Structure 1
């Protein structure tokens, strides 16, 4: 409707309203008669002028109000139309952005599947850049990059045709680096895989401009020869290396932080691979090597901090391999080697502090390897479980170890060979129990130990092992319980006194032990 029509209508309405009020007033006054004397006084003219001006002012006010109201309506309508236009533009821009990102994703994925290595490299970088620009599709881009790493690796020429391998002094194994370098296509594809792994690890570090922490990374079944996750942060999500193979790999988790993610190497295979976790930190989450196989490999957790979370080597197999957990700190951590098989391997916990933590070796099998706790300190309450384990050969040593509050259980262990050593250790509190153990053969040697508190319980099920106590301190007779269950040899102390020997005789006579003194 046009503005002048609105104003005219408002004026008419105002006049009609004024007339109605006037006539209502006359009606209330009883319609008095007007005197007509033929004269108009100045005061009357003045009053009439005031009434006229009031009417004009009222009409002007009505016109102003109507105009302002109309202007406000037009302004609000314009704002509404502008908002609708902006929303439509934003929706269109969003659709265009999504369409553009989908086109970038399709183009980058196509590049990654190219036959040319340079194009594949461009595709890897393009997917990485798209993941940084596209938070909603970041996981999708990562899944494609991981899928490329999982693709079957093209074999080198010597791997495809074993008859081409050199013989004699120049013989090379199928996975030797020289054999791989000889195959150009293999190395080109390997460079693409290295680029992807470098890109992923760079985005997992704290200084990355765009973080990929907390997302999922699936390398299941992949063959990985290079991965540098030094100082990476695994805060959430799943990182899977299940069934992966690491042949002579350059693999590093130096000073990595595990603070909530589940990182799994379940059933992975490490062949001639050294993997440093030096300085790593595990505060939450889980790091699992369950059922993994280590052949001539080295896993190094030296100077690491494990304060919470879980570290598992359950059902793992160690063949001429080493796991170093030396000079590390365990506080409230659960570490498992249950059902593991240690054949000519070496597990080293030397000079570590194990506080309020549980070490689980239940059902483990030691056949030629070594488990060493040289200079380790077990403090506060915790558990060391060797229940139902089998010691066939090899050595489990607690040399110069301090026990303070730890409960160590060798319950139901079967010892058919090897040696269990407590040399120069200090027992302040806690206990070592061989309850229901089958000590068939081998040697348990307790030498130069200091028994301030705690005890060793030999309430065994079957006995045949030789337990040697030598260079004891004053506390050792009261610390050994149920000694009648084993064949006990008391070696001559460094400075024997007849009273001490008599005291030992009296203690062990109560348990019906064959007392023998080693004069050598």
Structure 2
């Protein structure tokens, strides 16, 4: 409700004087008119009575006018009272709203001050020389992020920055050797790794930091569960930057991130990205996987980069989906590799990639251009039942073992292709092509129904 505009009240004389003049003037005019219109009367008594009646009539008229003015004044007074009540209610409501806003602002301000104090204290704990205190700092940051969603990305950034700090894995010879202590570094302005940290204790701190990230990036719905709403522990929309970090036995299975940066990262233990959903760019360029790594059933919504990455253990991408382009250019695979049933919806590049052990591309669908130029396959490579929907390029690729391209389908024969030496495409009745050895008997065309 909004009250009418207020105005300064006028002095009472502005209506009292005109009202008095109106009453007096009306009585005078009425008396003069009645007296002047009296006819001549034969007796003086009758004339006096007539004049008295005229004067009484004039006075009655003046009284009526005065009563009307009084009624108008009473109405005006009532309106003023209602207006005053309306204004009072409006001011009361407005003041109450202002008081609530001030209280809410004060509450938010107190909350922000409290969060800032807890955040500052937790970050300072990350730079403590005692591992238990650093662990306490991590758990304090986790609790702070869980209770304050607006601060989650900042806290994820701090944990990622901690994991990016230089660190040397412990060994039996370095358990009590201060020479291998990690150099001093900073996280968010605080000393993160003071000289003299025990590498075994620091390993536990880092494993805890990894578990905190994994737990809150894991969406139960990506694991095939029937949960319609995300778990309250899931932090949606986080960006993870672990560029150059040393990660130990990382388990990001079922996690969901917006952007993920792992360039130059070293994974020293087993690494699990199964059923992980990368909603933004996924960058693994220059990454080193020293042991087995799995990306089975992972989903890459945007572009993915594995350029010059090193895979030293078993590598699994089976049933993964790449919605856009992906590059494995210059990547080195020293263990067995499985890309079975992968769907590449965008351009994929394995230019210059090196495969030391067996590699499986069985049942893969390449919906975009596929480049294997200058790739090296030292042992057997399986491309059985692969479908190439666009260009396929194997120029200058070398094969040290068996190259199996049985039942490979090529959908666009007019596109630019470069097949491995000894393989040719034979046009089929349905217009597609079937990859066959150059010296093999042509395969019979696929059966076609009579009505076709």
TM-score range, shorter chain: 0.7 to 0.9
Contact kept? 2:297, 2:320, Cα under 8 Å: yes
| 1:194–1:24 Cα change, 3 Å | farther
The correspondence of residues 387-406 of structure 1 with structure 2, limited to 5 A, is: 387=395, 389-391=396-398, 393-405=400-412
Rounded Cα–Cα distance in structure 1 between residues aligned with 2:26 and 2:233: 81
Name structure 1 gaps, 5 residues minimum: 1-5, 164-183, 434-443, 454-520
- Structure 1: which 4+ aligned runs deviate by more than 6 Å? 6-10, 23-27, 40-46
Partner of 2:289: 270
Give the TM-score of the pair, scaled to structure 2.
0.74
Q: Given the alignment of the two structures, is residue 243 of structure 1 paired with residue 258 of structure 2, yes or no? A: no
Partner of 1:364: 375
Rounded Cα–Cα distance in structure 1 between residues aligned with 2:366 and 2:374: 23
TM superposition shift of 1:100 = 1.1
Partner of 2:330: 315
Rounded Cα–Cα distance in structure 1 between residues aligned with 2:256 and 2:143: 20
1:195 to 198, 208, 217: 208
| 1:451–1:16 Cα change, 3 Å | farther
Partner of 2:222: none
Rounded Cα–Cα distance in structure 1 between residues aligned with 2:169 and 2:214: 26
Q: Given the alignment of the two structures, is residue 347 of structure 1 paired with residue 359 of structure 2, yes or no? A: yes
TM superposition shift of 1:77 = 3.4
Q: Given the alignment of the two structures, is residue 140 of structure 1 paired with residue 161 of structure 2, yes or no? A: no
Q: Secondary structure of the residue that 2:138 maps to in structure 1?
A: helix
Rounded Cα–Cα distance in structure 2 between residues aligned with 1:8 and 1:239: 70
Rounded Cα–Cα distance in structure 2 between residues aligned with 1:66 and 1:14: 16
Give the TM-score of the pair, scaled to structure 1.
0.65
Q: Given the alignment of the two structures, is residue 222 of structure 1 paired with residue 245 of structure 2, yes or no? A: yes
Q: Larger % of strand: which?
A: 1
Rounded Cα–Cα distance in structure 2 between residues aligned with 1:57 and 1:223: 92
TM superposition shift of 1:79 = 3.6
Q: Given the alignment of the two structures, is residue 111 of structure 1 paired with residue 134 of structure 2, yes or no? A: no
Rounded Cα–Cα distance in structure 1 between residues aligned with 2:25 and 2:250: 98
Partner of 1:410: 418
| 1:302–1:155 Cα change, 3 Å | closer
How many residues end up aligned between the 2 structures?
A: 394
Q: Secondary structure of the residue that 1:279 maps to in structure 2?
A: coil
TM superposition shift of 1:275 = 1.5
The correspondence of residues 30-429 of structure 1 with structure 2, limited to 5 A, is: 32=32, 35=35, 37-39=51-53, 50-158=64-172, 160=174, 185-206=198-219, 207-209=230-232, 211-234=234-257, 236=258, 238-247=259-268, 249-258=269-278, 260-271=279-290, 273-282=291-300, 284-295=301-312, 297-306=313-322, 308-319=323-334, 321-326=335-340, 328-330=341-343, 332-342=345-355, 344-350=356-362, 352-354=363-365, 356-366=367-377, 368-374=378-384, 376-378=385-387, 381-387=389-395, 389-391=396-398, 393-405=400-412, 409-410=417-418, 428=428, 429=431
* Cα-to-partner distance string for 1:421-465 (whole Å, 9 max, x where unaligned): 78xx986355699xxxxxxxxxx7643551649xxxxxxxxxxxx
* Cα-to-partner distance string for 1:163-190 (whole Å, 9 max, x where unaligned): 9xxxxxxxxxxxxxxxxxxxx9444322
Contact kept? 1:300, 1:325, Cα under 8 Å: yes
TM superposition shift of 1:262 = 1.0
TM superposition shift of 1:57 = 2.1
TM superposition shift of 1:105 = 0.7
Q: Secondary structure of the residue that 2:401 maps to in structure 1?
A: strand
Partner of 2:45: none
Rounded Cα–Cα distance in structure 1 between residues aligned with 2:32 and 2:144: 92
Contact kept? 2:427, 2:434, Cα under 8 Å: no
Contact kept? 2:371, 2:394, Cα under 8 Å: yes
Name structure 2 gaps, 5 residues minimum: 1-6, 36-47, 178-196, 220-229, 447-452
Q: Secondary structure of the residue that 2:281 maps to in structure 1?
A: strand
Contact kept? 1:397, 1:421, Cα under 8 Å: no
Contact kept? 2:369, 2:390, Cα under 8 Å: yes
| 1:62–1:447 Cα change, 3 Å | same
| 1:410–1:82 Cα change, 3 Å | same
Cα RMSD for the two superposed structures = 3.8
TM superposition shift of 1:246 = 1.3
Q: Secondary structure of the residue that 1:81 maps to in structure 2?
A: helix
Rounded Cα–Cα distance in structure 1 between residues aligned with 2:382 and 2:391: 17
TM superposition shift of 1:30 = 11
Which stretch shifts more, 391-400 or 308-317? 391-400
* Cα-to-partner distance string for 1:226-276 (whole Å, 9 max, x where unaligned): 222212223x3x3111111112x1311122223x311111101111x1112
Q: Secondary structure of the residue that 1:394 maps to in structure 2?
A: coil
* Cα-to-partner distance string for 1:96-151 (whole Å, 9 max, x where unaligned): 22211111110111222223333222221221222233344322211111111112
TM superposition shift of 1:356 = 2.8
Question: Which structure is richer in relative contact order (CA contacts within 8 A, separation 6 or more)?
Answer: 2
